[in-house]
Amino acid sequence: MALYVHKYGGTSMGSVERIQNVARRVAKWHQAGHQVVVVPSAMSGETNRLLGMAREIQKNPDPRELDMLASTGEQVSVALLSMALQELGVAARSYAGWQVPIRTDSAFNKARIQSIDDARVRADLDANKVVIITGFQGVDDQNNITTLGRGGSDTSAVAVAAAMGAVECLIYTDVDGVYTTDPRVVPEARRMNVISFEEMLEMASLGSKVLQIRSVEFAGRYRMPTRVLSSLTDPTGSLAEEMASGTLITFEEDEKMETAAVSGIAFSRDEAKLTLLAVPDKPGIAHSILGPIAAANIDVDVIVQNQSVAGTTDFSFTVNRAEYNRAVEVLTKEVQPAVGAREVVTDDKVCKVSIVGIGMRSHVGIASLMFQTLSQEGINIQMISTSEIKTSVIIADKYMELAVRALHKAFGLDQPGGSL
């Protein structure tokens, strides 16, 4: 008997009818003789609704209380799904994260899973029950409820699958797999049958919200086969077809993958840029600027320091837009007076567009085609960052969709058979 973990996202759980469809699908797997653990998200819009109410009451809500609140969305989902399964004659049992327990650290709102005790879950599975566990949440060693960050149910599912040695973790969502880019932005985007773990990790970290980055990290660490597939197909359709559908994250790279220079395009609007103009250029300058930023717990992404002219230089970096206001404050109040920069210039209307592909290792001229394509569209590149399998640019965010569409075409991603 093989164990599978299913994860269903917010849209898939979005109404009573959809929950009943999820139950039909799970029942089909169970009746085929498989053990199934289901990890659902809150119904779509619910987490936003809860967080919105919190912000109406407190401008900067207490992180612990936010987790107490946000975790309730998933508790509703597991109970309703369990009832829907029981109605179909399938024995089912739901658990909140703390009941399993799924142990995390105490970093409220962005907790990390540390361990999962699977004894209760196993006993239920052995008694032929379907087990349903809340996504997105856990419990710390003081018994406080924690949550794993937005999109965290993906991570709960992969972590449960890894802890229990499941055959595969299936991430059911509102698209039928991982595409060359977000199909809502580029209708010509194509679904990939497989994507390498490394590419998926880059895509997720560069903004493709189809999987939370930590879920991909877990999949990599435990080599957990993970598949992204549609929850919106006929739930009573062929099981064999469903098992082979969607996009599988693979850990083996084959030659076919290497032949495509670029596999996908990721983008993120969650960016903001800060620049210090005319900073005296001397050793230690990067440290005196970024030290206070790090001390304020703000993550820095792309960094550029210009050639110095007449003993001064300009220094720019990007941060997540959610941390922009705090970063501006640290720069103007602490850093500028300390380093003697002439001016602080900031811009929260920027975005990051990235091309990703393991084939970039063996192809030259890929970045240059990217820059040429953007220049043909009249898009100014403000910053560039590269690694072995990706090139990212920071541009004005009003050009984001134009840039993504132009690059998707330039790299031939809309053509069957892949990129250049």
| Per-residue three-class SS string for 180-245 | CCCCCCCCCCCECCEEEHHHHHHHHHCCCCCCCHHHHHHHHHHCCCEEEEECCCCCCCCHHHHHCC
- Is 10 one of the binding residues for ligand ASP (CB under 6 A)? yes
Cross-sheet strand order for the sheet of 168-173: 92-95, 130-133, 35-40, 3-8, 168-173, 226-230, 247-250, 194-196
- Is 97 one of the binding residues for ligand ASP (CB under 6 A)? no
- Closest CB to ligand ASP among residues 137, 247: 137
Cβ 151 to Mg ion, closest distance in Å? 4
Residue 152 interface partner, choices ligand ADP, ligand ASP, Mg ion, none, CB cut-off 5-8 Å depending on type = ligand ASP
Integer Cα distance of 25 and 130 in angstroms: 12
Residue 136 interface partner, choices ligand ADP, Mg ion, ligand ASP, none, CB cut-off 5-8 Å depending on type = ligand ASP
Tokens representing 389? 């399998």
Q: Report the 10 Å Cβ neighbour count for 21.
A: 21
Cβ 151 to ligand ADP, closest distance in Å? 5
Cβ 74 to ligand ASP, closest distance in Å? 6
- Closest CB to ligand ADP among residues 67, 202: 202
Given the structure tokens 């960050």, which residue do they identify? 149
Integer Cα distance of 114 and 298 in angstroms: 23
- Is 152 one of the binding residues for ligand ASP (CB under 6 A)? yes
**DSSP-assigned beta bridge partners for residue 146:** 138
Helix or strand run (H / E) with residue 138? strand 137-139
Residue 135 interface partner, choices ligand ADP, Mg ion, ligand ASP, none, CB cut-off 5-8 Å depending on type = ligand ASP
Site for ligand ASP in 117-146 (CB under 6 A): 135-136
**Interface pick for ligand ADP out of 178, 285, 327, 410 (rule CB under 6 A):** 178
Tokens representing 85? 């399964």
Cβ 225 to ligand ADP, closest distance in Å? 18
Could you list the residues that contact ligand ASP (CB under 6 A)? 9-10, 41-42, 47, 73, 135-136, 150-154
Could you list the residues that contact ligand ADP (CB under 6 A)? 9-12, 41, 151, 173-175, 178-179, 181-184, 208-210, 264
